[in-house]
Structure 1
């Protein structure tokens, strides 16, 4: 019976230990999956922030190249130092994160093309065409940055529309504004637009107006969706300035103007205002985008820590509970064993008392019998008989 009870205790302890190990293993699997998901999310956000690092100088370079194109088309002196300074900033960004984003070869091709255009000193239509080719390489590089950094694939509304405005819509507005002003100049100042030039200018100006509308709508969505309360207040002044410049460049009466002469100087000034208002807005949006991504990265890290501590506490609780169960069973078993031993000892003590009493009685009986049957006894009995 004792052996059976001990075997049952061992089996019960083994079952409790196995359950604790199984539960712990389950928690470990959950923890590993959670940490893997957190790590993957963190890597995505980090890549997006790399993209923001690259896009800041790239946006500046787009603006400087548009300004250089307009100067070259008009036969004015191109500020080569300013263009190269902007290009150097992109070069530093490419050296820092280009290998991660896979932009190295595209950037090298862009540098070669820019060097060729700046050294050619082209003017008029050849300058327009040459700079347009450079702009194609530049926009291709920007798309590569957006794709490889995952910015273009970001599903969150706040960061998506910030990216959309800063990466696509504002550069498009800057390029179209410069293109429209250059085409009007090439068609003849004070002349009436007609044919292909009229269509191209109309498309470019419409592109600016459309970009302004899309930017405004998208940023309103970002402000409504974000957890960053400062976003709306931070971007509103620059957004208002850009909207005003876009409306001046492409007013609602734009279509009626094609029945009149288009003043190239006025349009060029308006295009420059689009540039000087769009560029600060783009940088501000990129800064806000980085802040949103930094907040997301911190949230992922916090979730990872919370999950880790939750699993650790759960595992510790399981082992403490298992230990308490085992310890409680062990104490019960020890108490039962002690009680059984005490009962056995009491029983043995009672039996031993009875045995010792019987032996003592027997010894006294034997002693009495010896007394009665010994020589003295016999003498006493003889004397009695004799009498």
Structure 2
């Protein structure tokens, strides 16, 4: 009689235990990469929008300086008395803004140079109109260069939105240039008749050049603002911008008409040109704060949208990590259960040579000894008579 040894259960292989975890890690890696890229991209866009808002604040501080400087130039050229209080107050306010955010915008060096020129101009105000025209022209050139620097360092020139790009271009470049060159055009119209006859031709050429320099940015400004309104999803932009824009456009048309030389004489009317310049300047003062306010509102809305996108991406990433973590825990639990079952011994199988002890109808196994008792067999025909077993005493019956 043979008794088989108990069989041990088959243990799962190393790859069988590690492969599910590798699968979870393979699913988790792209989720983490996508979440990281989304977080970084939205963070960069948010930082750009926040930096652009600093540029809007700086441009808002430069607007009163531009206004006061152009008015001071006009007063100096025309011989009008000017207290300079408006320019002093505007310079102090701009200096406070530069001290607060100038380091981040890298504008302190340019502002220091501009302020030094302004201080020197205020202390030694030129009495000659021609000298005043030249001196103020140099300072306004520095002021326009500071506008460009602020737009570049704040990222306004790289704004990704169509409506906000047109707004920043209008408020940071076109409008300051239009105001400055319109002031120069009107002042030159005052100086030209006083010049000698030999210089009249040169004066006419200068007037023509300044006329183009003043009207070109004004025309671009009108086109930019209308493009901003057409491309914007904001319902407030058109309602707030179009009314002062129409006023400014009418004043620019009047400036273009009165700055054109009279046919035959080649001269302009200084009085009408100065009045048209003043109307244009007043309309620009009403338009610029509206543009900057709408631009800042668009940037705030963009920052809020980026914040929502970041948190939505974070929530989706956390949900994916939790789901994959639950799947990994489930696979680990299944693996541990399989290892515990593999460690348990299997009960031995019964031998085919040993009949079950409780079955009395099975024939006894012949061992070759006649004295071995044999249990009784059932009486009657069987399915296979030839296969029935007979004992030594069965033949005498």
CA distance in 1, matches of 2:155, 2:335: 57
Partner of 1:231: 237
Matched, 1:274 2:264: no
Matched, 1:198 2:204: yes
Partner of 1:220: 226
CA distance in 1, matches of 2:140, 2:236: 34
Secondary structure at the counterpart of residue 5 of structure 1: coil
Counterpart contact for 2:68–2:90, Cα < 8 Å: yes
Counterpart contact for 2:144–2:177, Cα < 8 Å: no
Counterpart contact for 1:103–1:144, Cα < 8 Å: yes
Partner of 1:148: 153
CA distance in 2, matches of 1:133, 1:261: 26
CA distance in 2, matches of 1:269, 1:140: 28
RMSD: 3.1
Counterpart contact for 1:69–1:128, Cα < 8 Å: yes
Structure 1 window deviating more from structure 2 (239-248 vs 295-304): it is 295-304
Q: Which ranges of structure 2 fall in alignment gaps of 5 or more residues?
A: 1-5, 361-397
Residues 87-102 of structure 1 correspond to what in structure 2 (within 5 A)? 87-102=91-106
Q: Which ranges of structure 1 fall in alignment gaps of 5 or more residues?
A: 358-387
CA distance in 2, matches of 1:211, 1:110: 23
CA distance in 2, matches of 1:190, 1:133: 21
Higher RCO by CA contacts (8 Å cutoff, separation 6 or greater): 2
Deviation at 1:212, TM superposition (A): 2.8
CA distance in 2, matches of 1:4, 1:76: 108
Partner of 2:246: 240
Counterpart contact for 1:166–1:282, Cα < 8 Å: yes
Label 1:321 to 1:77 Cα distance change in 2 as closer, same or farther (>3 A). Answer: same
Structure 1 window deviating more from structure 2 (282-291 vs 25-34): it is 25-34
Partner of 2:366: none
Counterpart contact for 1:190–1:263, Cα < 8 Å: no
Partner of 2:16: 12
Counterpart contact for 1:189–1:264, Cα < 8 Å: no
CA distance in 2, matches of 1:318, 1:13: 17
Select which of 22, 25, 32 maps to 1:28: 32
Partner of 2:110: 106
CA distance in 1, matches of 2:37, 2:145: 37
Secondary structure at the counterpart of residue 169 of structure 1: helix
Deviation at 1:267, TM superposition (A): 1.2
CA distance in 2, matches of 1:280, 1:111: 25
Select which of 149, 152, 174 maps to 1:169: 174
User: Aligned residue pairs: how many?
Assistant: 350
- Normalised by the length of structure 2, the TM-score is 0.79
Partner of 1:296: 302
Deviation at 1:255, TM superposition (A): 5.0
Partner of 2:87: 83
Deviation at 1:236, TM superposition (A): 0.7
Deviation at 1:280, TM superposition (A): 2.1
CA distance in 2, matches of 1:255, 1:73: 21
- Normalised by the length of structure 1, the TM-score is 0.81
Select which of 27, 30, 47 maps to 1:43: 47
Partner of 1:125: 130
CA deviation vs aligned residue, 1:29-69 (integer Å, no higher than 9, x gap): 22222222222212211111111110001022111100100
Structure 1 window deviating more from structure 2 (80-89 vs 221-230): it is 221-230
CA distance in 1, matches of 2:71, 2:9: 95
Label 1:238 to 1:354 Cα distance change in 2 as closer, same or farther (>3 A). Answer: same
CA distance in 2, matches of 1:26, 1:2: 44
CA distance in 2, matches of 1:307, 1:173: 45
Deviation at 1:229, TM superposition (A): 2.2
Residues 66-81 of structure 1 correspond to what in structure 2 (within 5 A)? 66-81=70-85
CA distance in 2, matches of 1:214, 1:267: 21
Counterpart contact for 1:189–1:263, Cα < 8 Å: no
Deviation at 1:162, TM superposition (A): 0.6
Label 1:46 to 1:142 Cα distance change in 2 as closer, same or farther (>3 A). Answer: same
Deviation at 1:156, TM superposition (A): 2.5
Structure 1 window deviating more from structure 2 (326-335 vs 101-110): it is 326-335
CA distance in 1, matches of 2:194, 2:281: 21
Counterpart contact for 1:208–1:246, Cα < 8 Å: no
Structure 1 window deviating more from structure 2 (129-138 vs 325-334): it is 325-334
Partner of 1:263: 269
CA distance in 1, matches of 2:196, 2:267: 6
